[in-house]
Amino acid sequence: MTPRKKRLMFILLGLALLGGAVGLVLFALKDNVSLYFTPTQVFNKEAPQGRSFRIGGLVEEGSVVRAKDGLTVHFKITDTAKSMEVVYKGILPDLFKEGKGVVVQGKLQEGNVFYADEVLAKHDENYMPPEAKDALDKAQKSQENQPVTQPQKNQYYTPPSANSSK
C-alpha cells in the first residue's frame, strides 16, 4: 500500500468512527429531549401525542383550583390566544402565582388535559423563557391586527372645567 492510500484509509476510518460516535450520542439523547410548545401549538396538533413535552405561558387569572387532598392542583396556562387545562399533583414552587410565567412538563391526555410531572415557575420579574416570550408577542400582534374602529369627536369625554359652578 502506498503512503497516499494509507493516509486516505486513516482519514476514512476516523470519519467513520466520528460518525458512529455522533449517531450513538443522538440516539441516547432522543428520549431525553423535551420539546417546548405553547397552548396554541398544542391545539393546532403540533405537539407529540403520547410523549412527554413542555408547555409554557402564563397562569390564567382565577383558574387555580386546589383539590381536597392538598396536593392536586388544576389550573389553566395561556399564551393569550388559547388556554390549556393542566393537572399537577405535587408541591408547587413558591413563585407559582396567577398571571405569572410558568413552564410545565408532562403528557397530553384525553380531552386536551395536560397532566404535568413538573412545574417550573419563573425566577424573577424580568425572566421569561424565550419561546414563551415569542409566543406571547405573536399572540399580542395577532390581536393588534384586528380592525379597530375610531371614535367620533363627540364620543370623547370632556371633564368639567374647574371654574364651573356646582
Hey, is 29 helix, strand or coil? helix
| Domain with 98 in it | 36-140
Number of structural domains the chain divides into: 1
Hey, is 122 helix, strand or coil? coil
CATH no. for residue 108?
2.40.50.140
Q: Rounded distance, CA 128 to CA 162, Å?
A: 46
pLDDT tens, position by position, 125-165: 566 667 777 877 887 787 777 665 555 555 544 555 555 55
Report yes or no on 146 lying in a domain.
no
Report yes or no on 156 lying in a domain.
no
- Indicate the pTM of the whole model: 0.59
Residue 121's nearest CA partner among 100, 102, 98, 94 is: 102
Residue 33's nearest CA partner among 21, 48, 46, 43 is: 48
pLDDT tens, position by position, 57-112: 889 999 999 988 888 999 999 988 888 999 999 988 888 888 888 999 999 888 78
pLDDT tens, position by position, 14-28: 999 999 999 998 888
Residue 119 in grid coordinates? 412545574
| Res 127: pLDDT | 62
